[in-house]
Structure 1
Amino acid sequence: MKWISSAHKATQRVLVSRQHLLLHVGSCPRYFHASNTIRWSKSYQIQASSLFSGRYYSISANQNVTKSSSYSFCRLPYAYNKLGNSIKNVDLEIISRESIKPASPTPHHLRTFNLSIIDQYMFDVYTPLILFLPNTDNTSVTNVVTKRSKHLKEALSKILTQFYPLAGRVKENLHIECNDEGVYYSEARVNQKLKDFLCHPDDEKVRELMPESPCIAESLLGNYVIRIQVNFFLCGGIGISTSVSHKIFDGHTFHMFMKAWAAAARGSQDILSPNFVASEIFPNNPHLEHPSPSKIMATKTLSTKRFVFDSTTLAFLKNQLIVMPSSGHPPTRMEATTAVIWKAVAKAASKVRPFGPQSPHALFSAVNLRKRASPPLPKDSIGNLIDGAGAICFPKRELHLPTLIGELRESIAKINSDHIESMKGEKGHEILRKLKQPMDVTREGDCIMASSMLNSGMYNLDFGWGKPVWFYIMNAGFDRFLALNETLKGGGVEAIVTLSLEEMEIFERDPELLSYATVNPSPLRFLKH
């Protein structure tokens, strides 16, 4: 096994390769480890009951299921028992499948949507996300479901006239053919009330609510750009699950799309119009080879768990870390939570693999370029307008949280307007081409990829029947991954962490981590505030 011999050499590799690794979000892992969950007391259920009102509706035996004529679909299993048999955690039944097309045809001059150079470097994979909405309507659940199903479809068709690339197909890693073939859209009935589902959710169970995947899932080329499944619970609550192509979707783009869909569903006439400037600022390269899977993608059984930092804990944590090497302002909640998790992950890695004093562990953080450019890029611009910031620590040395925060802050600060300017044109092509080589520090998995949707506004979405009670982000395929998200109320942070089984067993028992975070709590706990 080849190990990095010097810290200087490792640092250079981090700086040279950080973008490539952040740009490549990998394919969905086929096997996920079932996470143990904490069962919360009935008090959470009782206090949340008003948000989940509504009578049961019956599941009819006569269901009209329309299969797509263009593709065959299969549901990828994520959980297996010891005998290798698929485990079913959710009693779910697909009741319809169809393609939702734009309400009006895309003009001929807009039929080709060029990808940017950053889009090109993205792996052609789907990122899974889900939004849970309660039913607060006391009328017939059957009528509520029928009405909301119709509104969601009509609203989606309406906004696809603005987000027309999403109804097309990716072609040759250069552009999206905006042919109005539509987005994959399915509906399912879940034989469970939403509040019961949310009492003890885990990553494995939530994944069973995701849309079916094309059997040719190895590539998005020629496939849907986005797949949607609307899951109706017995109480009338809804789980809107999406699998979005990373050839055009970053976190900001996803929020813009969902915000426009919600506005149209509640009847708003103020529909957001996306800006397609990305390919003009970062033009693509026709000679760029299609990216191949990275060694940092999942190839073995993984474990994903949630760790929630409440606002009181975060205030205490940030107060303790106010003095640090690169101090300019107190740590943000992103910096504080990321540092705690990075430290625990690095320590766990050093206990399952040989590490020396000069052996580094890397953190790669996704950075939104829109506000960092000069002048700032339009806030309504869609596409992958992100870059990656790389920082390293040395687990066999003493790890201090203030130092880790300083390293993280410094790495992100380097993604400034000058750096963004250097990414444009032919020079930018050359920079990104060099970033294609994976670095040695990640070859043995000695890194963690991090992405944040803090302050994204997902909990403010309103489809016309109440705001979400939980928004959940899933790992798209990294061996080791950290996703940060808001809690429903109180300004807390939900950290979704994916590690190998061996690392997770150590990580989830880390005393310092557990002094700040709660493992796998029910999202319903935040409804009492």
Structure 2
Amino acid sequence: MEITSSAMLKTTTTPPHPLAGEKVPLTAFDRAAFDVFVPLVFAYRAPAPSSEAVKEGLRVAVAAYPLAAGRLAVDVAVDGQGRRRRRRVLHVNDEGVLVLDATVEADLDAVLAANVATDLYPALPEHSFGAALLQVQLTRFRCGGLVVGLIGHHHVFDGHSMSTFCATWARAVRDGEAFIVPSPSLDRAITGVPRSPPAPVFDHRSIEFKVESPPVYADEVTKPKAIGAGGGDRLSALPDDLLLRVLHFAPAVEAASTSLLSRRFGALWRSTGAVNLAARVPGAGGRDAFTTVKYQ
């Protein structure tokens, strides 16, 4: 294989794309994607379109996808608290798409049968910053076949957007001057422009996060007093967890009767989790003799 030419393909559109010159922050989906280039290879048997037609179609397609001709960069933004934060952005600066031309003195079918594709697309860059985010290699074969190999950065293209871009490119080559950008198209102008949402004015902290007030008792008789204080109901002053622990070991009937002692006990006995069962089973004295067995 021989690389015959290497050039940066740039686009010129009138009017310019809404994102031209902007630094578009990465979306949450972009940040979740790997910082890698993803290769893709298309093979076409003869007759194949000329390299000039393929490049012109690429120029038209990239005009609709200007992020593909941009570069990864780091921008410094100031958050709401005045702190400076570094963030990755896609600089839509039209630095261009790298296009390589190559020739192979072999037939396309022989190369495809060998299942060797690493030489059919551009070499993967070691670093993403400063590298062309879309790189294309057009490889011509002796039989007239053509292989279009490309690599695209994952922050710019996911599977669906790459498929849509390639469909746009192919249609631009076929239609020529009659080309119309198909729908859907990649338009980050909607999410690329920072929003200025209004600041919340509702006092959530004071209204939705109130501190619970201490319980108010009807009279001093039922109001629990501190443990150790003179007189009063010291048992009612115990916390609920400890009272439930005590009632757990009492028979259900006796635990329920504690609700008569004071309002403090109330329905605590229902939350003890204890189950008391009593059954009468025949005893040794015959069918009329029963023994009461309690399960607690």
Q: TM-score range by the shorter chain?
A: 0.5 to 0.7
Partner residue of 2:180 out of 267, 270, 278: 270
Look up the SS of the partner of 1:222 in the other structure: coil
Partner residue of 2:114 out of 184, 195, 200: 200
Q: 1:128 aligned to 2:30?
A: no
Query: TM-score, with normalisation over the residues of structure 1?
Result: 0.31
Instruction: Kindly report which structure 2 residues correspond to 1:212-223, keeping only aligned pairs within 5 A, or say none.
Output: 212-214=123-125, 217=126, 219-223=127-131
Deviations along 1:187-245, one digit per CA (max 9) or x if unpaired, are 100111111112231xxx2111121344xx1x312221111101111111111101110
- Rounded Cα–Cα distance in structure 1 between residues aligned with 2:35 and 2:94: 20
The change in CA–CA distance for 1:109 and 1:226 in structure 2 (over 3 A counts) is closer
Look up the SS of the partner of 1:247 in the other structure: coil
The amino acid across from 1:149 in the alignment is S
Find the counterpart in structure 1 of residue 154 from structure 2. Answer: 246
Instruction: Kindly report which structure 2 residues correspond to 1:433-512, keeping only aligned pairs within 5 A, or say none.
Output: none
The change in CA–CA distance for 1:195 and 1:123 in structure 2 (over 3 A counts) is same
Find the counterpart in structure 2 of residue 280 from structure 1. Answer: 191
Q: Of the two, which has the highest radius of gyration?
A: 2
Q: Is the 8 A contact 2:69 2:93 kept in 1?
A: yes
Query: TM-score, with normalisation over the residues of structure 2?
Result: 0.55
Shift of 1:248: 1.6
Q: 1:180 aligned to 2:94?
A: yes
Q: 1:98 aligned to 2:7?
A: yes
The amino acid across from 1:248 in the alignment is V
Shift of 1:99: 0.6
The change in CA–CA distance for 1:158 and 1:103 in structure 2 (over 3 A counts) is farther
The amino acid across from 1:196 in the alignment is A
Q: Is the 8 A contact 1:115 1:279 kept in 2?
A: no
Find the counterpart in structure 1 of residue 141 from structure 2. Answer: 233
Look up the SS of the partner of 1:174 in the other structure: strand
- Rounded Cα–Cα distance in structure 1 between residues aligned with 2:88 and 2:190: 10
Find the counterpart in structure 2 of residue 111 from structure 1. Answer: 21
The change in CA–CA distance for 1:269 and 1:116 in structure 2 (over 3 A counts) is same
Q: 1:151 aligned to 2:53?
A: yes
- Rounded Cα–Cα distance in structure 2 between residues aligned with 1:192 and 1:279: 47
The change in CA–CA distance for 1:170 and 1:102 in structure 2 (over 3 A counts) is same
- Rounded Cα–Cα distance in structure 1 between residues aligned with 2:92 and 2:189: 17
Q: Is the 8 A contact 2:103 2:140 kept in 1?
A: yes
Instruction: Kindly report which structure 2 residues correspond to 1:360-375, keeping only aligned pairs within 5 A, or say none.
Output: none
Look up the SS of the partner of 1:179 in the other structure: coil
- Rounded Cα–Cα distance in structure 1 between residues aligned with 2:98 and 2:35: 17
Shift of 1:279: 7.3
Larger displacement relative to structure 2 (245-254 or 167-176) = 167-176
Shift of 1:122: 2.1
- Rounded Cα–Cα distance in structure 2 between residues aligned with 1:221 and 1:122: 16
Q: Is the 8 A contact 2:71 2:132 kept in 1?
A: yes
Q: Which has the higher strand share?
A: 2
- Rounded Cα–Cα distance in structure 1 between residues aligned with 2:160 and 2:146: 23
Look up the SS of the partner of 1:208 in the other structure: helix
Deviations along 1:245-268, one digit per CA (max 9) or x if unpaired, are 001211111111110100010125
The amino acid across from 1:190 in the alignment is V
Find the counterpart in structure 2 of residue 164 from structure 1. Answer: 66
Look up the SS of the partner of 2:132 in the other structure: coil
Find the counterpart in structure 2 of residue 378 from structure 1. Answer: none
Q: Is the 8 A contact 2:72 2:91 kept in 1?
A: yes
Shift of 1:276: 2.8
Look up the SS of the partner of 1:189 in the other structure: strand
Q: Is the 8 A contact 1:169 1:222 kept in 2?
A: yes
Instruction: Kindly report which structure 2 residues correspond to 1:307-456, keeping only aligned pairs within 5 A, or say none.
Output: none
- Rounded Cα–Cα distance in structure 2 between residues aligned with 1:209 and 1:240: 8
Q: Is the 8 A contact 2:36 2:154 kept in 1?
A: yes
The amino acid across from 1:157 in the alignment is R
Look up the SS of the partner of 1:175 in the other structure: strand
Structure 1 stretches of 4+ moved >6 Å: none
Q: Is the 8 A contact 1:103 1:160 kept in 2?
A: no
Q: Is the 8 A contact 1:99 1:182 kept in 2?
A: yes
Deviations along 1:244-299, one digit per CA (max 9) or x if unpaired, are 10012111111111101000101252322624359739x89xxxxxxxxxxxxxxx
- Rounded Cα–Cα distance in structure 2 between residues aligned with 1:255 and 1:108: 23
Find the counterpart in structure 2 of residue 15 from structure 1. Answer: none
Look up the SS of the partner of 1:160 in the other structure: helix
Look up the SS of the partner of 2:160 in the other structure: helix
CA-atom RMSD in angstroms:
2.5
